[in-house]
Amino acid sequence: MHPDERDELTEQELDALLPGWKTPAAPARLRTSLFGAAETKWWRMSIRIPVPVAALLLVLLAVAMWHWMKPEIEHDNGGELQPVTELRPRIIRSASVQN
């Protein structure tokens, strides 16, 4: 094979071509994806939250709302339970029921 018939350039030929080579312009979206937009509106900002964390926050919010919304139970004895002092069960048989 003759040296002039090869497709590859020599190191000297590549060095001579390099100063004249112009790089293609980078796409505009590449700069924004790397560095972010120059001016980001506050309503366009987003926060990424994993699904389990979001579900836990929703459950905690539901429990807090349930606790806040439930009515308070008032007791005559200051809120403490007292044992029954006297138990008198009454047995009602179906034959003796009066309407």
**Does residue 52 form part of some domain?**
yes
- State residue 97's pLDDT score: 62
Specify if 73 maps to a domain: no
51 in a structural domain = yes
Q: Is residue 82 in a domain?
A: no
Q: What is the mean pLDDT of residues 29-56?
A: 81
Within a domain: 37 = no
Which candidate, 72, 71, 73, places its Cα nearest to that of 81? Answer: 73
Region 1-11: what's the mean pLDDT? 71
Range of the domain at 63: 44-68
Question: What pTM, to 2 d.p., does this model score?
Answer: 0.33
For the stretch 56-61, contacts whose Cβ atoms lie closer than 8 Å and that sit 24 or more positions apart, written own/partner, are: none
Q: What does the chain come to in residues?
A: 99
**Number of compact structural domains in the chain:** 1
